[in-house]
Structure formats: structure tokens, C-alpha cells
Chains A and B, each alone.
Chain A
């Protein structure tokens, strides 16, 4: 697949994934007002699950992130745009600087622990059904 096609798919996927992240995050924070950054947490953990599931189902090596419609549009674009590492760290720093150190630590470690488990669960389910 030519580079320009790959980049177009990544752009569209990234735009749609980001819109979904913003929409879902806004919907969660409209209903939930606790101190724990639940919106980004839910987004990142669900995105990790889908990444593990789809990569395994489609037989895509984790090192392969471009060159086909699926890797460019779905994995790099949609899922990459949907999940975010920068907001994860910004949420952590924000809680930490507000002296909500317990929440900061729980979120900082908990997001990665839950993300690792969610991606592994996606892989396991893919193995069972394929």
C-alpha cells in the first residue's frame, strides 16, 4: 500500500478515534464527578482490550503497525487515536499536584496494570474463539 494511502487511513482513523475518546470522556465526566480520572481510565483499558483482541484475531505482529488497511486504519489510527498516553500522565500529574497523592498513585499504577491485563484478556479471548 502506498505511503499516501496509509497516511490517509491513519489520519481518518486518528480523527474518528479521537472524536470517540472526546465524546465518551465528556459523557462519563457529565455523570461522574469523583476525583479519580475515570473517563481516561475507561477509554485506555477498553482500547487496550480491543487492541489485544483484534491484533490476535487478525494475526498482526505487534511490531507491524503500517502497510495495510487494518493496521493503518484500525490499529494505528482508530485505537491509537482513541487511547491516550499523554492525558493519562497529565491526569496523574494533576492529581499529584493537587496533593491527591493516593488517587495519583492508584491511577498511575492502576491504569497500566488494568491495561496490561485487558490487552492480555483480549488476546486470551481471541485464542479461544479462533
Chain B
């Protein structure tokens, strides 16, 4: 229990720090700051899919590794609150409304496809190593 708490906290802290670093280095598009949030969320979507693909039964990632990587790092790296709050602010601004809609739709669709891609890659790696 204590070990699991430690894994989630360490992973979550690392993920959040990487997200903060992305906020500082990913170029902001004029008017909004959705680009770093988008990059963080899409990266985490691909990698959580990959982790889930590698964490299947007899996979190379066990329950502790899944807790650390998926629940911790990817949960800390990705954010839902900044995503919808940023989208709300863009949708409320007529000059950013279309971009806000694109941000929401692209996040949902590419996030879904990236998780599927990560799962697929993970499963291929597992079947090749067996």
C-alpha cells in the first residue's frame, strides 16, 4: 500500500514537472496557450496506450510498473482541467471560437487514435518477444 502510494506520487510529480517544462518550451500560438496542453496530452495518450499494451498478462510491465507509469507519470503529464478550462475561455472569445472547437475536437480524436496506436505497438512488441 505504502509502496503503491509512493509509486503514484513519484510518477505524478515527474509527469507534472515534464508538463511544466513543456509549457515553458513549446511555442505559444498567438492569443492562446493550448499548444503545450495539446502536446502534453497527446504524448501521454500515446504512452499510456503503449504502457497498457505492454502491461497485458505475461507482458513486460507488471502491476507496479503500470501504477508508476500509467497512473503516475501519464496521469501527471496529462491534464483534463486545463484542457476544458482553456477550451471554455477560447469558446467564449469570438475571435478564438473556431480555434477552440478545433482544439477540443482534435484533442478528443487524436487522443483516441494515439491510445489505439500505442496499444497496437505494445501488443506487437509483446507478441514478437514471446
Contacts and interface: CB of A to CB of B under 8 A. Distances in A.
Interface of A: 6-7, 10-19, 21-22, 44, 47-48, 50-52, 55, 62-63, 65-66, 72, 75-77, 79-90, 92-94, 96-97, 108-109, 111-112, 115-116, 118-120, 123
Interface residues of B, number: 57
9 contacts: A15-B13, A22-B5, A47-B80, A51-B85, A80-B16, A80-B19, A81-B75, A87-B78, A89-B112
B36 to A, nearest CB: 8
A44 B82 contact: no
Contact of A63 (B16, B28, B77): B28
B17 interface: yes
Contacts of B5: 19, 22
A interface SS class: helix
Contact of A123 (B21, B49, B52, B88): B88
> A22, A90, A108, A109: which has the most chain B beta carbons within 10 Å?
A90
Nearest to A80: B79
Interface in B1-49: 4-5, 8-17, 19-21, 23-24, 28, 32-33, 41, 44-45, 47-49
Given A85-B45, A85-B111, A89-B115, A77 B16 contact: yes
